[in-house]
Amino acid sequence: MAAAVVTLNVGGELFQTTAATLSRAGASSPLASLGPSSPSAPHFLDGDPRLFARLLSFLRHGRLLLPAGEPAPSPALLAEARHFGLDAALLASLSPASAFAPLSLRASALLPLTGRAAPSVVALCPSPPHPAYLFAAYGGVVTRFDAALAYRASVLSPLPAVDWLVAASPALAVAGARDFPGAHLCRFSDDASAAAPEVLSWPDSPSATVLSMATTTTVGPGSASPPWLFSSFESARRNSSAIVAFDLNSLSPVAEIGRKEVFGADVEAAIPATKLAWLGAHGLLLAAGSHSGPAGVVGDIRLWDVRASATVPVWEVREKEDCFADVAASDALSALFKVGGASSEVFMADLRRMGNGDGIGLEPWVCIGDSRRAAAAASSGRKERNGCRIECYCRWVFVARDTDVEVWSQVELAPEASGKMLMRRNWVGSGPFMEVGGGKEGEKAKAKIVSWAFGGSRMALVRADKRSVEIWDSDAVTI
């Protein structure tokens, strides 16, 4: 049976396609509702025929064909895509996570930000299911860029500076700051900017400060279908803390997780979580925090199955020797990773061992870096912490070491070694190199990395005192 032909008159030029092709535009696009029509009675669309031809090609082939020398869609093409409700699908195709190649990452753009404040934190909306929209906070302003880095909008939050930023969706970012209460919702639209009057607070302590945030982005814990936001709060008096889960559709709190109280001078009994991460494939929430005192650094790492209990974690460990500088979780590798605060070495804990009935042991960490250096640092009793950061994306583990980025990749699973995971270290690029405004020609941007994010096929990072965002793209991206 022949496919139903749809004839379109776009700005005076005729196009013919099928209803199946137009349906790929999505239910929100006016193109999806167009039925069969003849050349004598075509559907009329008010648009630019040259631009529409490229959008129609995108619907047919599932990828955007760009002319040579044009690395991103023009503002006119993006405006035409928004006119026909195709911007989200088109932008998602520009930076697919499947094209992410860490060893091919190269610095591709430097996005200047207006104002005198340097950006403090960046976030990327994960892809899928959303296009890799970029959010950057500088001062109290949160700015959004689309996946093509060609369209921006800004929201002024009531915060003097933003320390925590989560991209919940292309239209919503959540910001928080030290010593300022609540998680502030920054909503974005394509036609106008808006303030951020909505604030999510810990119900028992509206003046509580946000210490960390994470979002499920797709489905909530258990049988809940809407996206959830996890936010770690500490009371204004710093004598209690808890993680609160919010339903991002209703903006209502749905669970309080791991509430802690400080009794007397025992502050280590209630270390609040300053790092949260959601492992969707495992249905677990990672929560980690540390405290620095006269005896050194002490830290807690917990895994919560909030479907089973909001008061008892499924696994926890208290760290004193070589306490973590940062912790990350990988769904794809079924593992936790940390970077030691004293040794700066990378360690791994295999989550697959939790299924053996006895859980992960008291000493779960295996050093995948220099084990001798790690042991020497632990035995020396060093108390200081380094500024290393660690993050997992797809099947890779990234470590920000001052100015450069280290990447760990899985080599193989070795059956002869009881299935132990083998990891190999490399470096992203040859070290960051960008032209910096006001500097000498060829000057390297060797300032310390203060925030980074991963999404689609790219990495974004900001450096101390630099009023711009570095964009690193995979050379392997095919557009």
**Buried-state track 359-388, b at ≥16 Cβ within 10 A, e below 16:** ebeeebbebbbeeeebeebbeeebeebbeb
Query: In this structure, are residues 25 and 59 in contact, taking their beta carbons and an 8 Å threshold?
Result: yes
Residue 280 token pair: 């969707």
Query: In this structure, are residues 348 and 368 in contact, taking their beta carbons and an 8 Å threshold?
Result: yes
pLDDT in tens, 25-82: 887 789 988 999 999 999 999 999 999 999 999 898 877 777 766 666 788 888 898 8
Quote the distance between the C-alpha of residue 247 and its chain's center: 19
Edge-to-edge strands of the sheet including 141-145?
A: 119-124, 134-138, 141-145, 152-156
> Spelled out in words, what is the top-level CATH class assigned to the domain 5-93?
alpha beta
Q: What is the chain's length?
A: 479
> How far, in Å, CA of 330 to CA of 307, rounded?
20
Q: Strand 5-10 relative to strand 43-45: parallel, antiparallel, unpaired? A: parallel
Each of the 479 residues of the chain gets a pLDDT tens digit; together they read 456 899 999 999 999 999 989 988 887 789 988 999 999 999 999 999 999 999 999 898 877 777 766 666 788 888 898 889 887 777 777 778 878 899 989 888 899 998 889 999 999 986 555 667 899 999 999 999 887 787 788 999 999 999 999 998 888 999 999 989 999 999 987 655 555 568 999 998 989 999 999 988 644 344 344 589 999 999 988 889 999 999 988 889 999 999 999 876 676 778 999 999 999 888 899 999 998 877 778 899 999 998 888 899 999 998 888 899 999 999 999 999 999 998 999 999 988 877 554 555 556 899 998 989 888 887 776 656 678 999 999 999 999 999 999 999 987 655 555 556 788 999 997 544 444 444 443 444 479 999 999 998 899 999 999 999 999 988 644 33
pLDDT for residue 420: 65
Query: In this structure, are residues 135 and 165 in contact, taking their beta carbons and an 8 Å threshold?
Result: yes
Token pair 């660690």 in the structure block, residue = 390
- Alpha helices in 220-261, H assignment, sequence order: none
pLDDT for residue 414: 52
> How far, in Å, CA of 321 to CA of 382, rounded?
9
Quote the distance between the C-alpha of residue 408 and its chain's center: 18
> How far, in Å, CA of 271 to CA of 308, rounded?
22
> How far, in Å, CA of 220 to CA of 307, rounded?
10
Query: In this structure, are residues 124 and 166 in contact, taking their beta carbons and an 8 Å threshold?
Result: no
Residue 353 token pair: 């061992």
Beta strand ranges found along 236-283 (DSSP E)? 240-247, 252-261, 275-279
What 3-state DSSP class applies to 88? helix
From residue 285, alpha-carbon distances to 56, 275, 308, 330 in Å are 42, 10, 12, 11
pTM (two decimals): 0.84
Q: Which residues contact 372 (CB under 8 A, 6 or more apart)?
A: none
pLDDT in tens, 363-401: 689 999 898 988 888 777 665 667 899 999 999 999 999
Query: In this structure, are residues 404 and 472 in contact, taking their beta carbons and an 8 Å threshold?
Result: no
Q: Strand 458-463 relative to strand 43-45: parallel, antiparallel, unpaired? A: unpaired
* CB-based burial label for 191 (10 Å; 0-12, 13-18, 19+): exposed
CA-derived radius of gyration, the chain: 24
> How far, in Å, CA of 477 to CA of 473, rounded?
8
> How far, in Å, CA of 244 to CA of 252, rounded?
10
**Buried-state track 19-44, b at ≥16 Cβ within 10 A, e below 16:** beebeebeeebebeebeebeeeebbe
Q: Compute the 3-state secondary structure of the chain and give helix, strand, coil in percent, each to the nearest 5.
A: 15, 40, 45
Q: Strand 119-124 relative to strand 105-112: parallel, antiparallel, unpaired? A: unpaired
pLDDT for residue 217: 62
Domain with CATH 3.30.710.10 in the chain: 5-93
